[in-house]
């Protein structure tokens, strides 16, 4: 029995070592893949999320300002047209 117990102990140690080695290999592969993905992203010249959101906010503000200016121009044109009509009737 001690022979079998010793065999299983040795087998368990060997399997434990293999599992440890596989875990280490997994970590190494994960690190390599992450590094390669980071390199690819760097080469793609992508925009950082913060920069994108900042420009998006600027665009929203510009659109709002543009709409407000359109309304002001329309009101001024309407006022000018009414003024011209009144001056045309006086003559």
Distances (CA, A) of 69 to 72, 77, 90: 5, 12, 32
pTM for the full predicted model? 0.48
> pLDDT for 57-75, tens place per residue?
999 999 999 999 999 999 9
| Whether residue 36 is found in the same domain as residue 62 | no
| Whether residue 52 is found in the same domain as residue 40 | no
| Whether residue 15 is found in the same domain as residue 38 | yes
| Whether residue 69 is found in the same domain as residue 53 | yes
| Whether residue 74 is found in the same domain as residue 89 | yes
Using CA atoms, how far apart are residues 37 and 31, in angstroms rounded to an integer? 10
Domain that holds residue 79: 48-91
| Whether residue 2 is found in the same domain as residue 37 | yes
> pLDDT for 31-55, tens place per residue?
999 999 988 988 888 888 999 999 9
């Amino acid at each position: 029995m001690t022979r079998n117990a010793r065999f299983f102990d040795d087998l368990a140690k060997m399997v434990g070592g293999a599992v440890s080695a596989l875990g280490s290999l997994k970590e190494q592969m994960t690190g390599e893949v992450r590094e390669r993905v980071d390199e690819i992203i760097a080469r793609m010249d992508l925009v950082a999320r913060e920069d994108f959101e900042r420009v998006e906010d600027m665009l929203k503000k510009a659109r709002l300002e543009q709409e407000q200016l359109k309304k002001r121009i329309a009101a001024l044109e309407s006022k000018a047209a009414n003024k011209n009509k009144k001056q045309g009737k006086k003559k």
